Amino acid sequence: MLASFVHGFLLALGLILPLGVQNVFVFNQGALQPKLRNALPVVITAALCDTLLLTLAILGVSVLILSVPLIKSILLVAGVLFLLYMGYVTWRSQPSDRQGREAESYSARKQITYALSVSLLNPHALMDTVGVIGTSSLSYSGTEKWIFALSCILVSWVWFFALALAGRFIGSLSSSDRFIRYLNKISACIIWASAVLMIYLW
């Protein structure tokens, strides 16, 4: 049982660590929101989406969904369009002071909508979850399989809370306005690069 927990933990950590659109968005909201609790909608939504995807991958349901070409094409088109828009919005974000940063922070509804989009409209994230987590889960059965699943889910929840907390710490520094501006530019480039990569690999 311990082996399945450690396996799931390390595997999920390896998949979630790279700087992607979802991570950038959670970190940004942690930095831009006036208080950490204001970033909870994006944290909880991202973690719930990961929980859903991981559960579907381990149950094998997501393999069936992504095997339908039309569904995969719709996800790709929607994902590319959304990423291009998100990159544009992020690039234009220019908070010059604390009030400016608060104005650039998203409402709870926007946080939830964008978090759903960057979590569920990314075919490559879905394929990674299916290909790596789903395939690895085949090594286990019964209780061990669910311990493996729970360890993967635990990583997601802890990671997103830690990411928002790190963003809030950076955002609370009085000299962080320049950092936030640079972060927005870098984030926009990462988002656009993800969209281009999706088109290239289509």
Return the closest-CA partner of residue 95 out of 182, 187, 191, 189. Answer: 182
- Mean pLDDT of the region 131-147: 81
The Cα–Cα gap between 67 and 155 comes to: 27
Stronger pLDDT, 156 or 119, i.e. the higher one: 156
Stronger pLDDT, 70 or 124, i.e. the higher one: 70
Q: Please tell me the least confidently modeled range out of 44-58, 77-91, 147-161.
A: 77-91
pLDDT, position 155: 93
Structural domain boundaries enclosing 106 = 2-200
The domain total for the chain is 1
Q: pLDDT tens across 65-103, in order?
A: 667 777 767 767 777 787 788 778 778 766 544 444 444
Spatial contact of 46 and 115, defined as CB atoms under 8 Å apart:
yes
Spatial contact of 195 and 56, defined as CB atoms under 8 Å apart:
no
pLDDT, position 102: 47
Structure tokens, 43: 């944290």
pLDDT, position 150: 93
pLDDT, position 100: 43
Spatial contact of 91 and 185, defined as CB atoms under 8 Å apart:
yes
- pLDDT at position 176 over 60: no
Provide the residue count of the chain.
Answer: 202
